[in-house]
Amino acid sequence: MLNQRFPYAKEIFETVIENAYVWIVIVDANGKIIYMNDNYCRFCEVTREAVIGRHVTEVIENTRMHIVVQSGEEEIADLQYIKGNYMIANRIPIFADNKVVGAFGTVMFRDTKEWHEMNSHVRHHLSSIQSFLEKQEITGAKYTLNDIQSNSRVMTELKDKVKIIAATDSSVLIRGESGTGKELFAHSIHLLSHRSEKPFIKVNCGAIPEQLLESELFGYEDGAFTGAKKGGKKGKFQQADGGTIFLDEIGDMSLQMQVKLLRVLQEKEVEPVGSTKSFSLDVRVITATNRPLEALMEKNEFRNDLYYRISVIPLFIPPLRERMEDLEILVRYFLKKVSTRTGKRISMIQEGVMETLHHYHWQGNIRELENIIEAAIHLAKTDVITLDAIPDYIKKPAVFHYQQASLKEMVNEAEKNILIATINKYDGDKRKAAKALGISKSSMYEKVQKYELG
């Protein structure tokens, strides 16, 4: 009857099923295979002709299709271990005349990594919905990739990388100069991960006094020290259990604290100050720094083993002066943001202002740009931002003119620009940059410190 109404129905259905993204298997009431699409057959290294009529347990590892036929109950998004990978499978009984006559099974994601990546992709799109953001603010994270304004290729590639790594639980080390937006990336990674509904705990390791950092991170028991809160207190790691902890300015942590942190990361458990009991942890660790950790390691000021523990996935955020194609979109973004917050309407910005901003060096990066725009909005006499509203130091030439600089100054400026360009070319890998320039690693780190390149 169907073929009479739709003469190519068989060909249409076969084409759709064979080219479906999912893998498909159908069994009869006895658990014997009556259909299996080519994608699934190829994965199982069998031919369709060879599997038709065979019991499903003889073909598919750890299958439960025959059990679903017996129980008549569907199993949705169940983990199934096949050929060394966990896959996400659905199994649905087929009813006819009020009885189970077979079952239909699909594998939607070929492994759990594929599922997590798809989950991160969906979360990225959800992040633009206000209700989703309001929900996430409860966890402590509020910035997403949508808050990172950019047009440059390097930032697009960086965002794409974040979408991929968010699906993992690997430690991430975010490198970049002060003011480049390292914290925004940490927030984004958390909100794109499967931990997004769990806590996101931030700790600035450089802002907490050394004597307080241990109890702040790991907590303490009642009476652990003079002035301890009655009943004790959970540390940041315990507060982040199930979620993510973001350790900013990790390069400022003392060697003594580095040893204690390393133990927590290795053992995945924490022992509060004054306690004899350890508590297990399930925490993803994201760290950030603007300091040259490699140079600190050479001086024995940062532990090698801790470095390799926290930098499983390194991210380098380039400074604004190396991606000036992002300047205009950032200016427009901050104009709208600050104008909305202050209630002062700004309709436009003079072309001369944008030209001046393009010639400035932006040592303070995105944070400095936002401050400049905020100041300009307050100082603007009309609804147009003019050069009069821009601080004087911004208007000064950002480069040396030959007649105004000594030979040493010009050489230093040229060397600095070459270092910046080479380090950026190798995505922040200073060892590769040093090799390309024909200098030693120690020379590279000395120059990085000399020019404060982070």
Residue range 115-140, pLDDT digits in tens: 455 555 555 555 554 444 454 555 67
Cβ neighbours for 240, distance < 8 A, ≥ 6 positions apart:
198, 199, 200, 201, 283
With b meaning 16 or more CB within 10 Å and e meaning fewer, what string describes 369-405?
bbebbbebbeebeeeebeeebbeeebeeeeeeeeeee
- Whole-number Å distance between alpha carbons of 40 and 320: 48
Q: Let me know if domain 402-450 sits in CATH 1.20.1070.
A: no
For domain 320-395, give the fold. Helicase, Ruva Protein; domain 3 (1.10.8)
Residue ranges, CATH 1.10.8.60, the chain: 320-395
DSSP 3-state assignment of 23?
strand
Question: Residue 402 above 60 pLDDT?
Answer: no
Structure tokens at 259: 């040893």
- Helix H segments across 360-429? 365-379, 392-395, 407-425
CATH 3.30.450.20 domain range(s) in the chain: 2-110
The pLDDT value given to residue 231: 63
Topology at the third CATH level for domain 115-316:
Rossmann fold (3.40.50)
C-alpha distances out from residue 125 to 120, 130, 188, 262, Å: 9, 11, 12, 36
Over residues 279-302, the mean pLDDT reads 94
pTM above 0.85, yes or no: no
Separate counts of helices (H) and strands (E) for the chain: 21, 16
Strand-pair category, 33-36 with 284-289: unpaired
Domain limits, CATH 1.10.10, in the chain: 402-450
Predicted confidence at residue 6, as pLDDT, reads: 55
pLDDT per residue as tens digits for the range 358-394: 888 888 899 999 999 988 888 888 888 989 888 888 8
Alpha carbon distance 352, 373 (integer Å): 14
What does the pLDDT average to over 303-316?
Answer: 95
What CATH code would you report for 2-110?
3.30.450.20
pLDDT score of 400: 45
Name the one residue in this structure whose structure tokens are 């994601």: 109
Mean pLDDT along residues 141-150: 87
pLDDT of residue 146: 85
- Percentage of the chain exceeding pLDDT 90: 43
Q: Output the pLDDT for position 11.
A: 64
- pLDDT tens column, 6-17: 565 566 566 666
> Is the pLDDT assigned to residue 426 strictly greater than 80?
no
- pLDDT-derived band at 403, boundaries 50, 70, 90: very low
